[in-house]
Amino acid sequence: ASRKQPDTLDPAAALLSKIPLRARDSTTIAAPLFHSWGFAHFTLGLALSSTIVLRRKFDPEATLSLSAQHRCQTLVVVPVMLQRILELPRDTIERYDLSALRVIAASGSALPGELAIKVMDTFGDVLYNLYGSTEVAWVTIATPEDLRAAPGTAGRPPRGTILKLLDEQGKEVAAGDTGRIFVTNEMLFEGYTGGGNKDVIDGLMSTGDVGHLDRGGRLFVDGRDDDMIVSGGENVFPREVEDLLADHPKVDEAAVVGVPDEKFGQRLKAYVVTRGKASISEGDLKAHVKSNLANYKVPREIVFLKELPRNATGKVLKRELEAGEDQ
């Protein structure tokens, strides 16, 4: 994807309007530098004359150790790194003095609400979550106040950003209703190098996701617009089921996909990683979903795995899970 060089410092001002980064701070960048999130903080850190702390390979305890050693005010991560850090024993986490930490900046994949609360309960209300993509740069940023008030939110648009949720006819949807996410800012890309572009309506570009706004104007991302599962004529966005499964005290993480079904067109199949040595049955998890969601959102099958396949930025590789259906 190609993007023109911004003519002003407004893009940096947009980020700084939500995330309180300061000049000459020390910053640990655990997020990979080949990803736009890590690289953006590296370049922003140079502009702010920051001290940048890097490590060749992510290790949760080493990240805490380096941040404490250099009295870092900022830690830049992808959400799965936060999960790995919190899996450390409590006494290991408390071994490191992170009192200087003012900002934990997360992006790159979905940040579950339960994880956000655990991070803030452990390190204080210093967590900021940016939702965006390579094509549109950023869409919204959730502050600690947002995450406390509405765990799981992606936040509100920063300065200079316009966000709209549109239906299939290009009309704005009401608060609480699901729509396609469109955005405009100064950092929209100019198109893929191999040709092609994202959908654009009235100057706003599609992120490829769907979501809804609460009454406070906070965005919730419900999933990819092409991830929707149609089962028996009912629309299901996997994110809702995944978050509910992950909220179970014996579940570490979950992924939900749609698989072919002769009767219903598609059925839901869940892949679950249990927490530690916890044991739970498929029936118990189905009952957990059924007690909170409509029957058509209950997975027909649940497969237990040791871990979910992920890319370098922590996104679950659902295509690898789906590919297993053909083997």
DSSP letter at 296 equals: G
* Residue range 77-105: mean pLDDT, rounded: 97
Which residue segments constitute the domains of the chain, with CATH numbers given?
10-149 (3.40.50.980), 162-222 (2.30.38.10), 229-326 (3.30.300.30)
Tens digits of per-residue pLDDT, 160-208? 899 999 998 999 999 999 999 999 988 777 777 666 678 889 999 999 9
- Of 223-227, 299-303, 307-311, the range with the highest mean pLDDT is 299-303
Structure confidence at residue 204 (pLDDT): 92
Query: Mean pLDDT score of the chain, rounded to an integer?
Result: 91
| Cross-strand bridge partners of residue 231 | 234
Nearest one of 90, 151, 89, 91 to 120, comparing CA atoms = 151
Encoding tokens for residue 138? 């950023």
Tens digits of per-residue pLDDT, 21-30? 999 999 999 9
41-50, 169-178, 251-260, 306-315 — which is least confidently predicted? 306-315
Burial 105-118 (b: 16+ CB within 10 A, else e): bbbbbbbbbebbeb
| Higher pLDDT among residues 112 and 64, named by residue | 64
pTM (global) more than 0.85? no
* Residue range 243-265: mean pLDDT, rounded: 92
Grade residue 95 by pLDDT with cuts at 50, 70 and 90.
very high
Structure confidence at residue 1 (pLDDT): 55
Which residue blocks in 134-231 are alpha helix, DSSP H? 144-149
Nearest one of 104, 112, 109, 110 to 128, comparing CA atoms = 104
Structure confidence at residue 312 (pLDDT): 79
Structure confidence at residue 327 (pLDDT): 43
Euclidean distance between CA atoms 180 and 188, whole angstroms: 17
9-23, 55-69, 208-222, 251-265 — which is least confidently predicted? 9-23
Determine how many CB atoms are found less than 10 A away from the CB of residue 237. Answer: 20
Where does residue 120 rank: exposed (0-12), middle (13-18), buried (19+ CB within 10 A)? middle
- On whether the CB atoms of residues 131 and 122 are closer than 8 A, the answer is no
Q: What string of DSSP letters covers 301-316?
A: EEEE-S---B-TTS-B
Grade residue 325 by pLDDT with cuts at 50, 70 and 90.
low
Euclidean distance between CA atoms 101 and 25, whole angstroms: 10
